Amino acid sequence: MKVTLSVIKADIGSVGGHIKPSQAIINSVKNHVQKKGARLLKDFYVSSTGDDIAILMSHTKGKNNEEIHKLAWNAFVDGTEIAKEQGLYGAGQDLLKSSFSGNVKGMGPGVCEMEFKERPNEPFLFFAADKTEPGAYNLPLYLAFADPMNTPGLLLAPKLSKGFRFRIMDVSYIKGDRIIDLKTPENLYEIAALLRDNERFVVESIYSKDGDIAAVVSTTRLHNIAGKYTGKDDPVMLVRVQKNFPATGEVLSSFSRGHYVGGGMRGSHNMPLMPVKLENQTSYFDGPPMVSCAAFCVHKGRFTESLDAFDHPFWDYLRNKVSRKAFEMREQGFSGPAMLPYSELEYGGIVEILKKLDKGFKIVKKK
- Which strand (E) or helix (H) includes residue 274? strand 274-275
Q: Which of 9, 11, 45, 51 is catalytic?
A: 11
272: closest CA among 282, 284, 286, 257?
257
HSE-CB at 192 with a 13 A cutoff on CA atoms is: 9
Q: Which residues pair with 215 in a beta bridge?
A: 206, 239
- Which strand (E) or helix (H) includes residue 182? strand 179-183
Q: Which of 45, 137, 229, 260 is catalytic?
A: 229
Q: Which of 232, 233, 234, 347 is catalytic?
A: 232
Active site residue 89: no
Active site residue 11: yes
CA distance 309 to 124: 11
Active site residue 229: yes
Contact 169, 179 (CB under 8 A): yes
Write the DSSP assignment of 309-354 as a string of letters: TT-SHHHHHHHHHHHHHHHHHHTTTTSGGGB--HHHHTTSTHHHHH
Q: Which residues are catalytic?
A: 11, 229, 232
